[in-house]
Structure 1
C-alpha cells in the first residue's frame, strides 16, 4: 500500500524557498516514506519526543553540510502531513527541537481542526440531501 504525503499550507511556502539540493533530498526521503508509511524508522524517520501528539515524527536527512529535520504526523486520513522543517547546524539541539515541536504542534492542531470542520460540513450536506 502506498501512503500519501502532503504539505501543510504554510510549510509549502517555506519549502519553496529552500535550496534545490535540500528539496531534492527531502523528496527522496518523502518517496521512501510513501512506500513504507508509519513503519518507516531510523535513519529516515524518528519520533519527536516532547510533542503533544504521540504520532509526531521527524523526517531526517542531510543536505548542504547540514542535518535537516521535517516534522510531520500521519493524520486520521492516513496522510503524512509535512508541517515544518529546518537545518540543525549552528543551533543547540534543545533550542532547535523546542522551536520545531512548538510550531509543528500548533500547525497540526489547526490541520486537525480543519479536518473536523470538513467532516462536519459533509455531514450537514448529507443531512440536507435527505
Structure 2
C-alpha cells in the first residue's frame, strides 16, 4: 500500500534560513521536514509540539535540537512552514519574537489561498 505524502510549503525566509545551516544541522532539519511530509498531522512529540501562545490553535513547532520551525496546517491540510530559527540562549524570548511573525505569515497565507490576498 502506498502512503500519500503531505504537501509542505516553506515561507521564503525559512528556505533561506535552512540554506544557511551547517551540513549537520541542514541534514537533521531536512530529515525532520521529510518526516513531516511523510506523516503529516500525525507526527508528534518529540519532533513536533503545539504552540500555545499563537492566535491559531493549530500552530506547531518542528523541533530539531535547538532549531525550531513554526508551522501550521491550512484548511487543505497542507503544512506551511512559517518561521525558523535557533533558540539557543534565548529559550523564552525566541517565542515572543517568532510567534507574532508566524501568525502574520499564516494569516497572509490563508488570505492568499482563499483569493483575498496578494
TM-score after normalising by structure 1: 0.79
> How high is the TM-score relative to the length of structure 2?
0.87
Q: Distance in 1 between matches of 2:28 and 2:89?
A: 20
Q: Which residue of 2 aligns with 1:38?
A: 41
Q: Once superposed, what is the RMSD of the aligned Cα atoms?
A: 1.7
Work out the CA distance in 2 between the residues paired with 1:59 and 1:101. Answer: 13
The CA deviation at 1:104 is 0.5
Unaligned runs of 5+ in 1: 121-130
Alignment of 1:62-73 (within 5 A): 62=65, 67-73=66-72
The runs of at least 4 consecutive aligned structure 1 residues that moved more than 4 Å come to none
Segments of structure 2 that go 5 or more residues without pairing to the other structure are none
Structure with a larger share of its residues in helix: 1
Q: CA deviation at 1:30?
A: 1.0
| Aligned match of 2:93 | 95
Equivalents in 1 of 2:15, 2:115: separation in Å? 22
Q: CA deviation at 1:75?
A: 1.1
The answer for the alignment partner of 1:111 in structure 2 is 109
What is the count of residue pairs matched by the alignment?
A: 114
Matches within 5 A, 1:1-130: 1-62=4-65, 67-91=66-90, 93-117=91-115
Counterparts of 2:41 and 2:78, CA distance in 1 = 10
CA distance in 2, matches of 1:35, 1:111: 22
Q: Which segment is superposed worse, 17-26 or 41-50?
A: 17-26
Q: Distance in 1 between matches of 2:22 and 2:75?
A: 31
Structure showing greater Rg: 1
